[in-house]
């Protein structure tokens, strides 16, 4: 953006996020758990729209954690080219070190570790790869760094809420605004959340799904501009206004704005 400003060039910025994943008390819990595993661990969490903050209604909180942990602990790490593998390695040692540091921070801040949080013990040649166990924290607080900063890895942070208003407020309490999801069987509640969540993409009963005809892009410090869809072209379209007078009059009726006559 700074480089482009010298020549007033247009840019699109997609700068990451901290996506909330909201499960209301009337949600299909099984579907939400399946969606959480996919949305949170797709590409091992190295995804800008990764579901990383999980706000779960208190009536479903324990069941959701138990179900999520049960699914996560069955995932197989290994060769990403093997169809029996669920999760491959991280992109680099530096990224694995970053994730391990956030896990340490989460524990120090007082969040509870439900599963993961370690470098897995894998046989050669996988022991040379940058693998990290899928990690689930629970009973975290809104102020904690693991609940506020983009980790970009397989670290999922689960927190309870009581009211819809609380879930919306906590979800919007972030510098990011890229993506969010809400899980509910009630269309009216779904539409309320879709309207009030300040994110460029809001999914209902799904997370991390894209269509080529649907725009993708964020608000706030997640950037601006859209990729996908015709809106991408609009961002780079030069619009020109051409006015042609066809009255044939030397003095136009609206000139009185200047002359008063």
| Options 34, 48, 150, 261, the catalytic residue | 48
Residue 58 is among the residues annotated as catalytic for this protein = no
Q: Output the six-digit token pair for 252.
A: 């136009």
Bridge-based pairing state of the strands 112-115 and 135-138: antiparallel
Please check whether residue 93 is in contact with residue 132, taking contact to mean a CB–CB distance below 8 angstroms.
no
Torsion angle of alpha carbons 175, 178, 183, 187, nearest 10°? 110
Residue 48 is among the residues annotated as catalytic for this protein = yes
* Packing angle, helices 29-41 and 61-72, rounded to 10: 50
Side-chain-facing half-sphere of 95: CA atoms under 13 Å: 18
User: Taking the CB of residue 155, how many other CB atoms lie within 10 A of it?
Assistant: 25
The catalytic residues are 14, 48
């Amino acid at each position: 953006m700074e480089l482009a400003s010298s020549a007033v060039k247009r840019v699109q910025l997609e700068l990451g996020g901290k996506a909330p994943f909201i499960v209301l008390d009337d949600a299909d819990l099984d579907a939400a758990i399946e969606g959480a595993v996919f949305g949170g661990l797709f590409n091992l969490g190295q995804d800008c729209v990764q579901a990383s903050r999980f706000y779960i209604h208190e009536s479903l909180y324990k069941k959701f954690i138990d179900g999520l942990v049960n699914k996560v602990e069955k995932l197989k790490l290994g060769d990403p080219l093997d169809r029996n593998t669920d999760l491959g390695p991280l992109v680099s040692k530096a990224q694995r070190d970053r994730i391990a540091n956030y896990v340490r921070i989460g524990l120090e801040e007082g969040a509870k570790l439900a599963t993961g949080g370690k470098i897995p013990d894998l046989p050669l040649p996988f022991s040379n790869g940058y693998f990290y166990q899928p990690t689930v924290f629970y009973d975290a607080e809104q102020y904690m760094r693991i609940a506020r900063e983009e980790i970009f890895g397989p670290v999922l942070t689960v927190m309870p809420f009581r009211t819809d208003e609380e879930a919306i407020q906590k979800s919007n309490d972030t510098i990011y605004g890229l993506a969010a999801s809400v899980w509910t069987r009630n269309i009216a509640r779904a539409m309320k959340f879709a309207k009030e969540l300040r994110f460029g993409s809001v999914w209902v009963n799904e997370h991390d799904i894209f269509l080529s005809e649907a725009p993708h892009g964020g608000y706030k410090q997640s950037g601006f501009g859209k990729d996908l869809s015709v809106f991408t072209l609009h961002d780079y379209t030069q619009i020109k206004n051409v006015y042609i007078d066809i009255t044939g009059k030397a003095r136009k009726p609206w000139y009185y704005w200047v002359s008063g006559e």
